[in-house]
């Protein structure tokens, strides 16, 4: 009896210690992600596209009207940064540094589905891999579109799995970021529409579950829709200081439509799949292993990430006028799938490694050693 009584506090102490370590790791990742992004914001001058974006924000800051092709959301954030810190290159890139840090931390909201280790691995990859780091230093709207997509996914997952009404507000916030981010935001919207069509045609039970939950939360849905509309208006118009930003959304949609085609265009980036092979081979291998695992299972989130990745790559192939930062829309699901795979491999190894998990570990080790 004595032994059994003493085991309870020991177990609680172990859980508390585990949570403390996890919190410390997340805190460390957050500090590292923000520090590296802020420390290197001005290592190179603004390029032409960044200068155009900064000029739009500068016009708002001076009480004028922005001109040219710009992201309404980024112009709003950057004009606020100019008010706080002055009109400098550092302030012109500050919004993307903060958005890049938010992207790193969002897997925390999926740690139940990814696993605690998987979520940490995904955050680590998004912190230190070259592409997310580079676009955290680049003043364009692509990072905002990626953050909005992941925030909406977190909200959707929490609403579907936990019936948490706050998930609807996360969806609304993500949708506002996507709508005002720029041309790449419409790529996300196209992916979302295609993804919902796949759910309707291929997973009737999920559709029925969502319909029932939305019907039960009608008032919350209305409040979340109001939140979306208000936030989108504020982000698009710099808090009503730039009403032309609302009109810029339609212009960005036109630019997005015009980007389709397979003939290479001046200024168009390389296809995402080529960029992944050249710049992110480690992430491509780890995420590819996770993708193979996901499509053979029945997990809703894993299937969603697989569809996200497939749609992002497919749309990117047919967009000769794609922006360079659109590759982030493939990077995010790859990082999450890599986290899922490493979580599964870790648990398989702890419980007695199987031949296939041993092979994955050896493969990961060889890939890592090749890049160290």
Mean pLDDT of 298-318: 91
**Per-residue pLDDT tens digits for 357-370:** 444 554 454 444 44
What is the torsion angle, in degrees rounded to the nearest 10, for the CA atoms of residue 118, residue 347, residue 296 and residue 150? -10
Mean pLDDT of 12-19: 69
**Per-residue pLDDT tens digits for 170-194:** 999 999 999 999 999 999 999 999 9
pLDDT, residue 210, reads 75
Q: Say if residue 119 is exposed, middle or buried (CB neighbours under 10 Å; 0-12, 13-18, 19+).
A: buried
Give 87-114 as a DSSP string.
S-HHHHHHHHHHHHHHHHHGGGGGHHHH
pLDDT, mean over the chain: 87
CA-to-CA distance for 152 and 150, rounded, in angstroms? Answer: 5
Chain centroid, CA 144 distance in Å: 8
**Per-residue pLDDT tens digits for 116-127:** 999 999 999 999
As given in the structure block, the two tokens for residue 358 are 């041993």
| Band of pLDDT at residue 258, cut at 50, 70 and 90 | very high
Mean pLDDT of 65-94: 94
For the chain, the first-to-last Cα distance in angstroms comes to: 53
């Amino acid at each position: 009896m004595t032994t059994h009584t003493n085991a309870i506090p020991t177990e609680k102490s172990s859980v508390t210690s585990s949570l403390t370590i996890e919190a410390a790791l997340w805190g460390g990742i957050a500090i590292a992600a923000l520090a590296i992004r802020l420390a290197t914001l001005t290592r190179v001058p603004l390029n032409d596209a960044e200068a155009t974006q900064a000029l739009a924000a500068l016009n708002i800051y001076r009480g004028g009207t922005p001109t040219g092709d710009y992201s309404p959301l980024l112009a709003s954030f950057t004009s606020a940064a100019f008010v706080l810190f002055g009109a400098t290159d550092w302030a012109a890139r500050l919004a993307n540094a903060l958005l890049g840090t938010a992207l790193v931390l969002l897997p925390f909201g999926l740690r139940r589905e990814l696993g605690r280790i998987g979520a940490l691995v995904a955050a680590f990859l998004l912190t230190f891999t070259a592409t997310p780091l580079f676009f955290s230093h680049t003043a364009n709207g692509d990072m905002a579109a990626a953050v909005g997509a992941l925030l909406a996914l977190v909200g959707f997952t929490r609403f579907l799995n936990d019936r948490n009404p706050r998930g609807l507000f996360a969806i609304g916030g993500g949708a506002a970021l996507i709508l005002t981010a720029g041309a790449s935001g419409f790529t996300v919207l196209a992916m979302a529409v295609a993804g919902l069509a796949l759910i309707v045609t291929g997973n009737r039970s999920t559709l029925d579950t969502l319909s029932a939950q939305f019907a039960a939360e009608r008032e919350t849905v209305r409040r979340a829709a109001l939140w979306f509309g208000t936030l989108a208006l504020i982000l698009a118009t710099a808090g009503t200081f730039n009403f032309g930003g609302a009109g810029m959304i339609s212009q960005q949609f036109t630019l997005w439509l015009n980007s389709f085609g397979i003939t290479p265009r001046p200024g168009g980036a390389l296809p995402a799949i080529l960029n992944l092979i050249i710049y992110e081979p480690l992430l491509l291998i780890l995420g590819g292993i996770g993708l193979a695992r996901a499509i053979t299972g029945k997990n809703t989130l894993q299937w969603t990430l697989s569809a996200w990745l497939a749609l992002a790559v497919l749309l990117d192939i047919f967009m000769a006028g794609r922006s360079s930062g659109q590759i982030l829309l493939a990077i995010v699901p790859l990082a999450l799938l890599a986290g899922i795979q490493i979580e599964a491999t870790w648990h398989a190894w702890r419980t007695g490694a199987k031949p296939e998990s041993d092979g994955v570990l050896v493969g990961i080790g060889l890939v890592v050693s090749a890049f160290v």
